[in-house]
Structure 1
Amino acid sequence: MHRFIVVGGGAGGLELATRLGDRYGARRRGGAQRALVTLVDRAPTHIWKPLLHEVAAGSMDPFTQELAYAAQARWHGFAFQQGELIGVDRAAKRITLGRLLDEDGAELLPQRELEYDTLVIAIGSTTHFFGVPGAQENSIALDTVDDAERFRKRLIAACMRSEHEHREYVTAGSEDASPNGGPRIQVAIVGGGATGVELSAELRNTAQVLSAYGLHKLDPRRDIGIAVIEAGPRILPALPERVSNATAGLLTELGVELMTNAKVAEIGPGFVRMASGKEVRADLTIWAAGIKAPAVLAKLDGLPVTRLGQLAVRRTLQSEGDDNIFALGDCAACPWPDGEGSARTVPPRAQAAHQQASFLLKAFDNRLAGRPLPEFTYRDFGSLVSLGHFSAVGNLMGGVIGGSMLVEGLFARFMYMSLYRLHIAALHGFPRMALDTVAHWLRRTTLPRVKLH
């Protein structure tokens, strides 16, 4: 049987493996199994990466949203192998997975090799620190659930410590527990893109909820400062200027400080220093300033990569170096012609990965039948940015309305939430997605609005 291997269980990779398993796999309805489908990921569970800022702010419990790859494989007729891709032998059509270790460093699985006929690489992206001194050591990047949970716990700990110090100051006759008269807790978010902006709004909500539950008696707006530091002239540089301006106005109303044209030169314990020499106090620092392709892509048996480290693919999503290897999502540099000879590539967005997964499902029908492969065409439906419980803002464009339209408020929030629901539908079908939505709503009615432990 034809052997499909999908490496990477993110938004695009998991959707593709699920739908390939449904179409060709062991639980295929109405016929015999037609192909062997295997998903590979270094983690045992999946969570939609755009939700990590909500996990970091505590407004989402990751354990209620995680999906076990092994369970999804059982339900949809594919196999799952946990491990990290460390090499590809193109001549032998074989990939190598590194050793899998447990939390104590003991070996769970040895280094292994898997053979393929069609290989799809969908390993996403990692944080780009741009060589800023101290950035990797003194800030937290939201790459994984563990990163987000680590920040959430540090935030709660900082609030509790500050509340204790505040009581001691008051007992000693001082009215201000802050040594400089500013916020008692200062959170610095480096990067004014979607992740940084969304996190800043969620943190403002978290500060209010933690106060309501008695974890601290600090003023949520005056005593907990949130600053977004952006090197460019405006936040959300990848989105239209009117979306950026509308978002900036909403964040300012929430008491979020926006620092634009502020290039970070160094991050140390408790501070962020700008290239201009200005220094900002930072009790907690989040790095959300950019992404890059994983370093392993440059080591995959001579597969061509771009200057940004992405795999160079044709519009069929086949690697320029091997017709049996495909790539999708953030790790792939796919041409996006606009009719004017532009050299743009498809942007690293969840909607692009979803479209590419749907495209490859149809393209593989042609591949198995020996027919020519179609070419992928990306359709930009716009972008949405969530500001938590307060609002949402974005632009709709393309096939949705035949043009471009700024949206905000309740309608934008509904559109934003529907994106995740559509991802759930792609993994489980619409009936189960509807049940999951109801179950999620019921859980939210019986649990605190912020994870407190």
Structure 2
Amino acid sequence: MKQIVIVGGGAGGLELATRLGDSLGRKRLAEITLIDANRTHLWKPLLHEVASGSLDTGHEALSYRAHSSEHHYYFRMGQMVGLDKTNQTLTLAPLLDHHGKEILGERLVHYDYLVMATGARSNDFGLSSVREHCHTLDSAQEAEDFHLTFLNRFMQFSEAANQHALTNHHDQTPPEPVRVAIVGAGATGVELAAELCNAVERLEKFGIKAIHPSSLQVTIIEATDRILPALPESLAAKAEQVLKEHGVDIRTQTMIKDVQAQQLITADQTLQADLLVWAAGVKAPKFLSELGLPTNRIHQIEIDANLQVKGESAIFAIGDCASLIQGAGEQARPVPSLAQAAHQMAATCATNLQALIDGQPLTSFLYHDHGSLLSLSRFQTFGSVLDELFKKNWMLEGKIAHWAYASLYRQHQMTLHGLGRMVWILLAAFIERRVKPKLKLY
């Protein structure tokens, strides 16, 4: 029986494991193994909502172990650290518990076909101090860490404001607001800014004393000449207007030269902030460039049109960790690091692995851009959707755009769970919205 090993349980890797498990695994035509360093999966585009408290990971996280038992693949917890292409084995680092004690030693995993789907992180552009002083939103754990820090900072603010009011009865000067600086004005940075503004309004409604919208000052710093460079300029302008209406300070054409504790240093000034968030760029894990596979300058694995690693017939790569150039000449463009690209790659990779086992020719991958949608919390949702029939971009706004945005996550859930369970998930979500607080306060 062929051994198919998938490294990385993100959007692409988990969808691929589910597809292969439901087809090859269920019929015992291949043994499917998914490897991830975490116990649970959370759709990465939701992490800005986790950071603000708008979404509870306890409700949305998926257990790899439980899911694997229902979809005929095997889950192994671990972190890949080495690859032996000659013997077709990969090495997993020792597994430690939450106290740092070793549970399992270093392990070897054999494969006949290997799929790399490790995802990517924000790009620090060589600034070593970013990881030390900035929050990043590359995992659910990081998003939860920022959320708790954000709540704690507002508890300090509320207490200080109350003490000031008690001891200075005649001084009506409001205390300095909590300052959050976000580096990067892509979708993550912009959506996070909106969610934080919404969170502060929710805190006020939950009765936390001295908290009101002006208690927060959010600044977005972007190196290019406008926010949301991947979206049409008209939509970016609308997003900027909404953000400014809620007090967000937007600074474009501003390059960060250095990062220190609560400070962002540019060419001509130093920006002070209580919390720093780095949401700029994309870079694959560095260890990918140490495996003997072809990689680009940001450690993405270079693949061909069949999603196979260049020069390798038994190794594939999909999602954010893969680099694929499509088109020729001036039309040549890399497949973007987006959830919709990972979703499409997972479907094609599943088809090609099935074809290899059946002795059939492989299918070339062709990325289809279905448009972009942006949610500024409950304030506004808009975007552009490509109509493939008429080859036209339709601009969406308001409730229709909100439903389209929500459907992206539901499509991911449909792939993972199927229609029957999806109905129950929607029902549970409907009930939770009516019985749970609209903001996570823990």
TM-score under structure 1 length normalisation: 0.94
Whether the 8 Å CA contact 2:203–2:211 is kept in 1: the answer is no
Post-superposition, which runs of at least 4 consecutive aligned residues in structure 1 deviate over 4 A?
A: none
Deviations 1:248-305 (A, max 9, x none): 11111222111111111222223222222x22221111110112011111111x2111
Whether the 8 Å CA contact 2:162–2:209 is kept in 1: the answer is no
Amino acid at match of 2:258: E
Amino acid at match of 1:379: H
The aligned counterpart of 2:266 is: 274
Superposed displacement of residue 390, structure 1: 1.2
Amino acid at match of 2:181: A
Whether the 8 Å CA contact 2:162–2:210 is kept in 1: the answer is no
Where does 1:78-117 land on structure 2 (aligned, <5 Å)?
Answer: 78-117=73-112
The aligned counterpart of 1:215 is: 208
Deviations 1:222-250 (A, max 9, x none): 22111111111100112221121111111
Whether the 8 Å CA contact 2:16–2:346 is kept in 1: the answer is yes
The aligned counterpart of 2:4 is: 4
CA distance in 2, matches of 1:452, 1:401: 46
Decide which moves more: 327-336 or 125-134: 125-134
Where does 1:16-95 land on structure 2 (aligned, <5 Å)?
Answer: 16-25=16-25, 28=26, 32-95=27-90
Whether 1:384 aligns to 2:373 is yes
Q: Which residue of 116, 122, 128 corresponds with 1:127?
A: 122
Whether 1:250 aligns to 2:236 is no
Decide which moves more: 72-81 or 234-243: 234-243
Structure 1 spans left out of the alignment, 5+ residues: none
Whether the 8 Å CA contact 1:39–1:81 is kept in 2: the answer is yes
Structure 2 spans left out of the alignment, 5+ residues: none
Whether 1:148 aligns to 2:138 is no
Amino acid at match of 1:186: R
The aligned counterpart of 1:326 is: 316
Superposed displacement of residue 93, structure 1: 0.8
Deviations 1:360-413 (A, max 9, x none): 122222211212211101000011111111111211125275211222221111
The aligned counterpart of 1:167 is: 162
Q: Which residue of 305, 315, 324 corresponds with 2:305?
A: 315
Whether the 8 Å CA contact 1:169–1:175 is kept in 2: the answer is no
The aligned counterpart of 2:173 is: 176
CA distance in 2, matches of 1:5, 1:398: 36
CA distance in 2, matches of 1:341, 1:209: 48
Per the alignment, in what secondary structure is the counterpart of residue 148 of structure 1? Answer: helix
Whether the 8 Å CA contact 2:17–2:73 is kept in 1: the answer is yes
Superposed displacement of residue 132, structure 1: 2.9
Decide which moves more: 351-360 or 392-401: 392-401
Amino acid at match of 1:437: L
Amino acid at match of 1:176: T
> Structure 1 88/365 Cα, relative in aligned 2: closer, same or farther at 3 Å?
same
Whether the 8 Å CA contact 1:336–1:343 is kept in 2: the answer is yes
The aligned counterpart of 1:232 is: 224
CA distance in 1, matches of 2:126, 2:272: 21
Amino acid at match of 2:187: A
CA distance in 1, matches of 2:128, 2:35: 34
The aligned counterpart of 2:191 is: 198
CA distance in 1, matches of 2:120, 2:281: 10
Per the alignment, in what secondary structure is the counterpart of residue 236 of structure 1? Answer: coil
CA distance in 1, matches of 2:32, 2:374: 35
Superposed displacement of residue 155, structure 1: 1.1
The aligned counterpart of 2:386 is: 397
Deviations 1:420-442 (A, max 9, x none): 00000000002211210110121
TM-score under structure 2 length normalisation: 0.97
Whether 1:452 aligns to 2:441 is yes
Whether the 8 Å CA contact 1:9–1:40 is kept in 2: the answer is yes
Decide which moves more: 167-176 or 413-422: 167-176
Amino acid at match of 1:289: A
Superposed displacement of residue 37, structure 1: 0.5
The aligned counterpart of 2:432 is: 443
Per the alignment, in what secondary structure is the counterpart of residue 334 of structure 2? Answer: coil
Decide which moves more: 414-423 or 149-158: 149-158
Per the alignment, in what secondary structure is the counterpart of residue 333 of structure 2? Answer: coil
**RMSD (CA atoms):** 1.4
CA distance in 1, matches of 2:152, 2:177: 13
Per the alignment, in what secondary structure is the counterpart of residue 351 of structure 1? Answer: helix
The aligned counterpart of 1:265 is: 257
Whether the 8 Å CA contact 1:59–1:202 is kept in 2: the answer is yes
> Structure 1 117/106 Cα, relative in aligned 2: closer, same or farther at 3 Å?
same
Per the alignment, in what secondary structure is the counterpart of residue 405 of structure 1? Answer: strand
Whether 1:420 aligns to 2:412 is no
CA distance in 2, matches of 1:216, 1:328: 48
Amino acid at match of 1:259: R
Whether the 8 Å CA contact 1:7–1:39 is kept in 2: the answer is yes
Deviations 1:98-147 (A, max 9, x none): 11101111111111111111100000002211123632211100011111
Aligned positions, number: 440
Whether 1:370 aligns to 2:365 is no
Deviations 1:185-210 (A, max 9, x none): 11111110000000011111100111
Whether the 8 Å CA contact 1:133–1:265 is kept in 2: the answer is no
Q: Which residue of 273, 280, 284 corresponds with 1:289?
A: 280
CA distance in 2, matches of 1:259, 1:398: 34
Whether the 8 Å CA contact 2:387–2:394 is kept in 1: the answer is no
> Structure 1 110/208 Cα, relative in aligned 2: closer, same or farther at 3 Å?
same
